[in-house]
Amino acid sequence: MARTPATAAAKTLWYDRPRYVFVEFCVEDSRDVKVHLDDHRVQFSCRSADGAELRNEIEFYARVNSKDSQNKRSDRSITLFVRKLKDKVPWPRLTKEEFKPAWLSVDFDNWRDWEGDEEVEAAMVEQYAELLQKVTPKVEPPAMDDLDDDL
């Protein structure tokens, strides 16, 4: 009887900004990525390059605006730009619970005191939005029914 591999959590980094919380699920060459975001939590799942199933569920420290949030997949990770419901209110942690899961860490490379840092954040979000627009959606191939059948 074949055993199915146990589900693990993806290593996750986060940092806080005046309007957004950034959450990065660190999975290289991810497949079957699913991100379900509502105003209170995010449910994330995918398969890693070696086929392992990864799942994370995070109940946020505070309510967010899920309709004004985005995510971006790259070869190395899946990044969420989660819009805070209340701007300029710092989050001391990402999760509602006071304990920190072993798979969750602060992204100290991007963490900083953001008082007066709104211009930097706006530029960063705009840059990612431009990247998202450059990705062209997959569309159906054009109909070829107008070609002559008499070749």
Identify the residue with better confidence: 123 or 23.
Answer: 23
> What is the mean predicted confidence (pLDDT) over 36-58?
96
Phi, psi of 65 (to 5 degrees): -100, 90
User: Which of the four pLDDT bands, split at 50, 70 and 90, describes residue 15?
Assistant: very high
User: Which of the four pLDDT bands, split at 50, 70 and 90, describes residue 132?
Assistant: low
Per-residue b/e over 9-41, b at no fewer than 16 CB within 10 Å?
Answer: bbbbbbbbbbbbbbbbbbbeebeeeebebeeee
CATH no. for 12-134: 2.60.40.790
* Tens of pLDDT, residues 106-118: 999 888 765 555 6
Check: pTM over 0.85? Answer yes or no.
no
CA distance 20 to 29: 26
Identify the residue with better confidence: 136 or 37.
Answer: 37
Domain boundaries, the chain: 12-134
Q: What element of type H or E holds 128?
A: helix 118-134
